[in-house]
Amino acid sequence: MSDDYTPGDVGEGIPFIGAGPGDPGLLTVTGKQLVEDADLVVHAGSLVNSELLEAYCADAEQVNSVGKDLEELVPLMTEAYEEGRAVVRLHSGDPAIYGAALEQMDALESNGVPSYFVPGVTSAFAASATLGTQLTLNEVANHVAFTRPQGKTLSDEEDHISDFVGFGDVTTCIYLGTHAVAETMDRLLDDGHDPETPVAVVYHASWPDEDVIRGTIDTIGEQVEAAGYRASALVIIGEAATGAGYERSYLYGDWANERDDSSTTDE
């Protein structure tokens, strides 16, 4: 990647593009340009909406990366790039959030193949738009945590969901945890958190089959299990999930109005 590259530019090498949360309209302008011009698109399988692939990648060779390891993917992309083909690596959401992009990029670099990031819209942002709220709200939530629950790749000690919820003014966004919503909420209850703390679960944010479940730490586990969702949902814990209780910000308050008044003079 060149030193003067700026996200949004078309750079040299293989772009690692965030396809967004699902809706093809949430692909960035640069991402759309690159996939439309691609000869080979290596994509993240069903995590990338097939409508996006059909609309923008119909003329490209498409390879599903699911089930393929680095030893298969890197030579595939390297060979195509060295043949002069335009190669695109298409990740779901934004590759910077729970993606495995950098290890691919490092492996490509070791083969002499440059690469660069093209940001995408992550599912937490699509979920907040669906809920009609902000992840940060004045006097409600000053911080946002992107996290995941304990499991095969995360030990009990590395699970900090309870810590984030305990801060009170944090909106906690849980990725890769749909299957463990009930267990996660049980741990929060065992840790003494308020059972009435709001929780929203957005399944397939921005997809045609998007679904929203609203509840609390005490109720959301049973609600998600009743809906039958085991994957592909974003969990948001905190008062900001309701979009209520916030205070008017300085931006539109008296402080801002006074600044506007002081910048004008009577003629």
Nearest residue to 15 (alpha-carbon basis) of 100, 65, 76, 90 = 90
Nearest residue to 215 (alpha-carbon basis) of 240, 190, 241, 191 = 241
Nearest residue to 67 (alpha-carbon basis) of 95, 41, 44 = 44
Q: State how far the Cα of 92 lies from the Cα of 65, in Å rounded to an integer.
A: 12
Contacts of 103 (CB under 8 A, 6+ apart): 70
Per-residue tens of pLDDT for the chain, all 267 residues: 556 778 887 889 999 999 999 999 999 999 999 999 999 999 999 999 999 999 999 999 999 999 999 999 999 999 999 999 999 999 999 999 998 999 999 999 999 999 999 999 999 999 999 999 999 999 999 999 999 998 877 888 899 999 999 999 999 999 999 999 999 999 999 999 999 999 999 999 999 999 999 999 999 999 999 999 999 999 999 999 999 998 887 776 665 555 555 544 444
Residue with tokens 């595939």, as numbered in its chain: 76
What secondary structure letter does DSSP report for 90? E
- Could you give the C-alpha distances from 44 to 19, 107, 217, 244, in angstroms and in order? 9, 18, 32, 36
On whether the CB atoms of residues 122 and 144 are closer than 8 A, the answer is no
In DSSP notation, 123-182 reads HHHHHHHHHT--SSBTTTBSEEEEE--SSSSS-GGG--HHHHHHHSSEEEEE-S-GGGHH
Q: State how far the Cα of 223 lies from the Cα of 16, in Å rounded to an integer.
A: 36
